[in-house]
Structure 1
Amino acid sequence: MRFGGYPLSFRLPGRVAELRNRLSRARYFRGHGVHSPFVYDIVREVFMRDGLLPGDRTVYEALTAAGISRRRAVQLQNLAIHCGYGSFGLNRADAELCVATRDLSRAKTLALVRAAAEAGHTLAVMSPYDGHVRQALCAQIVAQHRSTTVDNRGYLLIFNNHLPKQHFRI
């Protein structure tokens, strides 16, 4: 059977997976169902904000120059301001807030995750849903991580602090 130019069998599994993904995130919509005050504040003060918070714009400018979308750059800049991070690193782990772009290989991304964990820094892995290989990589990172992780579709936040092991899909 054909619907819209493609056989229905090709589109149905993707639609079912998309529906499952959306339903699994429904309880965290707008912060409802998040039982961590820290993550709830991030949802309300970072993810739900369209504009930049007052303060330094270093993270925003570096991310937009690297090709990250404006929306994600605003969110990560607001995260840096909200959490009080003093330094920022793009594809390196020597800063309080580290960002791993899509361009890094699997081995380099895993090395960056390890280095950030050892240093106690927060890491944002960009584009966690760009293909099955990237999804498997992010699932492996979440499974092996000992603290809180937050997945908001655009990036995976990995906190290396005193928080308990929890995973939020927002």
Structure 2
Amino acid sequence: MHKSDKPEKLAEFTAPGMDDESAKKTIAILDNRMVALIDLQLTLKHIHWNVVGPNFIGVHEMLDPQVETVREMTDTIAERIATLGGVPVGTPQALTERRSWEDYSIGKALVTEHLMALDKVYNGVNKDHREGIEQLAELDAVSEDMLTGQLAELEQFQWFVRAHLESSSGELRTN
């Protein structure tokens, strides 16, 4: 599968009551979200390993539950893709070919630097999840509901990150 290829519906079935075209469109949206969440869980673990400085331990320990929850989200999406007759492809090469964003560029760095970058990552993931929800409203209520529940958790994770970057007056540190 190349970057421009869209995931195909390969099974001769889909969820009862859903037509093949709606299934294909839903699978494509879910595939995009699956790739983003796999990337997010790896990025979170990378930050977990490379964050240093004041508040290190609090951030280090905050990230592992996020990794686990995002991993579960990824599994839920992959299983939904299979339920609709698609094939979830999560191999490293296939993932990098299908992603449309730049790799996380920070190595070992201070808490604030990582959290400012992670806030931007969450901006993109959450915005794209919201767009996926809007598209799914016309295609598949089950997948729409699934992404809606995930977005609630992802937005809460971003709030946790922002709490480390927010001043007492409510200003968000962005650089």
Give the TM-score, by structure 1 length. 0.27
More helix by percentage:
2
More strand by percentage:
1
**Larger RCO (CA under 8 A, 6+ residues apart):** 2
Give the TM-score, by structure 2 length. 0.27
